[in-house]
Amino acid sequence: MAEIISSESLLPVLETDEDITARLRAFVQDKDAFSPNTWRQLLSVMRICYRWAAEYGRSFLPMTSDDLRDYLTYLQESGRASSTISTHASLISTLHRNAGLVPPNVSPLVFRTIKKINRVAVVAGERTGQAVPFRLTDLMALDELWVNSPRKQEMRNLAFLHVAYSTLLRVSELSRLRVRDITRAEDGRIILDVAWTKTIVQTGGLIKALSSLSTQRLTEWIAAAGLAGEPDAFLFCPVHRANKAVITTERPLSTPALEAIFAHAWRVAGQGEPKTNKNRYSGWSGHSARVGAAQDMAKQGYAVAQIMQEGTWKKPETLMRYIRNVDAHKGAMVDLMEKKRG
C-alpha cells in the first residue's frame, strides 16, 4: 500500500518505516525552503517515477542503483531530453537525502548510465533548447506601435516588456512587483526594489534601475491604471475588456497570462516563424527578454561578470548557453588566422 504525504501537494511513498515517514513529513512542511517551481518539478518527478515503479514492480523508496539505471533508461527510450533525465536523477537524489537514505545516484553504475545517455543524445544531434531572444530592436519596434495606443492592455504590455528587458527579471519575479517597490532617483528615473529572485534570497533584496524611456512607459501605465495611490497593488494587473484596469493586491498575474503578453507581442510584430527546438520556442516566451538582453549586452562588449550580475546568474555556464552564438566569429583562433592573412 502507498502512503500519501500531503501539504497542498501529494508525495507518494511506498511502504517505509516510521523514521523515514517522519523525515518526509518534515521535508514537506519545509517546502518553502525551495522555490515553487522546484517543488512542482519534484512532485512531478515523484509521480512519474512512482507510477513507473508500480508498473514494473520496482522499488521507489529506497530506490536501488539498478532500478534508477533502468528508470533513467526508460525515460531515454520514451524520448525525454537528456537535460530532463538529469533533472529526474537529481530530484530523486534530493528525495532520498531528505528521507535520510543513501541516494542511488552515488553508484558508478548510475554515473555511467547518465554519461551514456548524455553522449548518445549529443551524438544524435540533441541540442539545448533556447527561448527566441527578445532584443532591444524588438522592444523599440513595439514601442513605436503601442506608444499612443488608447488600449490599457497595450499600455500595460508595453510597460511590462520595458521592465522585463531592462531588469532581466524572470516572469515570476516580474509578477510579484508592487507599486510600493518603486522609488525615484534624483533625475526621476524609477528604481525597483526586488524583494528576492530565484538565485538571490536575502533580506537585502535586489535593486533594479530603469532607463528614462522605460521609466516613462511604466509611469504612463501607472497613471492610466490608477495605481499611483495603491501601494500594495501589483504593478502588472489584469485589464478588463471594458478597457479598465483591475487593481489586485492578493494574487499576481499568472505565468500563462504574462507569457501571453510575449505571444501577443510576437503576433503584433509580425515576426516570421523561427526554427523550433524540441517543438518549443516557436515565438517569444517568458524567458525571451532575459535571453535577448543578455545577447545585446554581450554584443556590445560587456563582460560576462557584468551580464551575470544583471541577470542574477550564479553559473557562467548558464549564461554562456544564451550568448554562445553572439560574436562567435571573434574567437581567439579566428583572430589569429585573420592576423596571419593580414
Q: Which residue has the higher pLDDT, 315 or 175?
A: 175
Q: Is 284 considered catalytic here?
A: no
Query: Which superfamily is assigned to 3-123 in CATH?
Result: Tyrosine recombinase, N-terminal domain (1.10.150.130)
pLDDT, tens digit (0-9, with 9 covering 90-100), for 277-289: 455 557 899 889 9
pLDDT digits (tens, 9 = 90+) for 134-166: 999 999 999 999 999 999 999 999 999 999 999
Q: What is the pLDDT of residues 29-38, one digit of tens each?
A: 888 888 788 8
pTM of the model: 0.73
What pLDDT sits at residue 232?
96
What dihedral do alpha carbons 76, 82, 86, 92 form, nearest 10°?
A: -30
Catalytic residue among 287, 302, 324, 329: 287
pLDDT of residue 13: 46
273 vs 266, which has greater pLDDT? 266
| Segment 313-339 mean pLDDT | 75
Query: What cell numbers appear for 340 in the block?
Result: 596571419
Strands 190-194, 206-209: pairing is antiparallel
User: What string of H, E and C letters represents the secondary structure of the chain?
Assistant: CCEEEECCCEEEECCCCHHHHHHHHHHHHCHHHCCHHHHHHHHHHHHHHHHHHHHHCCCCCCCCHHHHHHHHHHHHHCCCCHHHHHHHHHHHHHHHHHCCCCCHHHCHHHHHHHHHHHHHHHHCCCCCCCCCCCCHHHHHHHHHHHCCCCCHHHHHHHHHHHHHHHHCCCHHHHHCCEHHHEEECCCCCEEEEECCCCCCCCCCCEEEECCHHHHHHHHHHHHHHCCCCCCCCECCCCEECCCEECCCCCCCCCHHHHHHHHHHHHHHHCCCCCCCECCECCCCCCCHHHHHHHHHHHHCCCCHHHHHHHHCCCCHHHHHHHHCCCCHHHCHHHHHHHHHHC
Determine whether 165 is an active site residue: no
pLDDT at site 203: 58
**Catalytic residue flag (residue 313):** yes
Residue 332, pLDDT above cutoff 90? no
The predicted model gives 110-137 an average pLDDT of: 85
Give 15 or 69, the one with higher predicted confidence: 69
d(CA 152, CA 140): 19
> What pLDDT, on the 0 to 100 scale, is given for residue 124?
77
Average pLDDT over residues 230-241: 95
Q: What are the angstrom distances between the C-alpha of 81 and each of 42, 84, 233, 250?
A: 17, 5, 40, 37
* 8 Å CB contact between 277 and 127: yes
Least confident interval from 13-17, 38-42, 209-213:
13-17
Closest CA to 13 of 1, 22, 27, 2: 2
**119 in catalytic set:** no
Q: What is the mean pLDDT of residues 70-80?
A: 93
Compute the distance between CA of residue 131 and CA of residue 143 in angstroms, rounded to an integer: 21
* 8 A C-beta contact, residue 54 and residue 63: no
Per domain, the residue ranges of the chain are 3-123, 136-323
* Length, in residues, of the chain: 342
From CA 302, how far away is CA 200, in angstroms rounded?
A: 22
Whether domain 136-323 has CATH 1.10.760.10: the reply is no
The question of whether 290 is a catalytic residue gets the answer yes
Binning pLDDT at 50, 70 and 90, where does residue 330 land? Answer: low
What is the C-alpha separation between 37 and 197, in angstroms, rounded? 12
Lowest average pLDDT, out of 11-20, 37-46, 224-233, 244-253, goes to: 11-20
Q: What is the average pLDDT score of the chain?
A: 86
Q: Is the pLDDT of residue 14 over 50?
A: no
Q: Is the pLDDT of residue 290 over 90?
A: yes
**Of residues 170, 266, 281, 284, which has the active-site annotation?**
170
pLDDT (average), residues 74-94: 92
pLDDT of res. 3: 41
Q: Is the dihedral of CA 230, 236, 238, 240 positive or negative?
A: positive
Taking the C-alpha atoms of residue 338 and residue 269, their distance in angstroms, rounded to an integer, is: 38
Q: How confident is the model at residue 4 (pLDDT cuts 50, 70, 90)?
A: very low
Q: Which of 322, 324, 329, 341 is catalytic?
A: 322
Contacts of 5 (CB under 8 A, 6+ apart): 11, 13, 21, 24, 25, 28
